[in-house]
Structure 1
């Protein structure tokens, strides 16, 4: 085992790799920081001055970076949903949806903690994966309350107009929200419940996957299912209450002549009217079908032509990669070590490489890739591993898979 440092001042040095694994439930970031602080405190005391040490892998730092990225995406997704509701319905409806989403995420995280899951990349991905579904219930309820209020206002305006009613204008009291909101929620209650449980039925079987991937994938269906159930409860209890408080005396501009609904209606009419016309509509519909068929055919050709790569997981721009060396059976250890040294000399000349660790005849410390492919079972004179550490992705132009 040896450690190689890239660059003009680099070189190769005999090394010992010390792997430290956290206990279940512990915070990987805190453990990694504590280990490095402890190692620094031992320098020039327990660790002699002639012995140097370097951090070659810090999955706590990786987890922290990924968690921050996922949290940013979660906040962006929530803000995008609220902004869309604001544009389509109004600021008060957007505020109701925003409160419902934040409350749903908070309660879901608490339920996830109570279930025994930690806040990690998988659980955060589950929330991002289901954010579009979590907001559906609240949006459906708020939009239907909004629609009923607009219909009530329109009916009152017609009754108050002497030109349409045929009598003198009469005054009416404001809409009775206590009667409108239950009716609006009841109208969409059944379909919303059915849609929620349909999605749960599609996701939940993933929680029963066995084997190596079972515990790894379990937080996704469980967190998403819990979040959907909680969002359904919040949509039927908290959202109507907030609508009762915030939607009274609200001018419904989205339904007016100059509102967004009117503009969207004009766009839809221009697009679909030619397709539905009695004269010439059939030909245009056939042309539309041919166009859709052509697009589907082109999309199916993309993987065949190599323009789209089919993978189980997307490329991830990591700061490390592993080189696995398999020499012919019976190769002596010295020859395998010589091959690894040649590879190391080449890697040391690459500007993106910081350092590397070479293992001849033994397996490198286990990582997720090695766990899946059982690299930890590799041993013998003909096998070798190299752990290559790259500069941070902010300091290089090429992604790791291109390097």
Structure 2
């Protein structure tokens, strides 16, 4: 039982109709496919096998980050006076939207499968005639079904005493007929079977009422295959906007699942990106002794987006592969965001080199136009070789299933920023200096 299974509460599944199969793969050097691709390849066959036998199957991979109860988790809330069954009905309806949304699989909700339990109803008149108290009946049933530990045995060589457990054999407690024969001792010292004191009746089990933050809630869960969880959540929100739930029902995707982690991570990385930009700006002010020139130098940073976002789209459009009928794309992940933050410092260096070269040429008496043209011509090769070296250094990381996004962000961002910086930065600097000279 690993941490992922604990978070998903698999330890609660102890019924005879439930089972877990844990698959350990060979070392990645001894197989051709990554673990995620293997899971995609197996999914269709396992789903068909489960459907053929009327079973419910969930294919769960070890997460690269913090484990969650499910990739997509929707919380269904209602008014305080709303019957809980209404919440469950809304959850089942939302589950239908989950199944209709492309890329969402293994959909289930918090509704428990209807089943019966056997209760013993004591006939108080008969119990009084036999001289049996309700506590005696309860103790006899508990002893028969759950057993008891009346004593311990001290064996030579054993560090701790051995527990002795007293319980009826399974065949004497596995049917109503057997249960009715369970003996109960009366006040007179005689034995009375349970059949003479009452009767066993099947009763339906009630649905457990789940709460979160003191509010009643029903859950709908789902996994994703071949699609980013964020895209699936956006698709579900569009479906809910087109087909809203009944009045008084509230659906929240931000409580559990990867959506909350995704929002929190990208929020924190966005704050870190802003702090990095502020730090770069302050350092450039110290370097250039100007408040406006650093802004010009930093125009190279947003140019990276012109390479990163279209780059990921082209990568999946041209080289995307399908495994087991599911797409296996390269997503823009948190590591991609880290790569984009790292690019901020890398591309600034190129801009700074160009501007310094132009300023040096101007101090030597060269005309502004000639200095700008000369900077692009002379610094083209060093800047291009530096960018190419960085991209080649990041290439091996593209093979890693977790950090490939960081590598692709560096490659695409450097490619676009280098190309645009060699043109845009000198031209923008020329326009600014010309305006000041005029």
Using structure 1 for the length normalisation, give the TM-score. Answer: 0.41
Q: Counting strand residues as a fraction of each chain, which structure ranks higher?
A: 2
TM-score using structure 2 length:
0.38
Greater Rg over alpha carbons, structure: 2
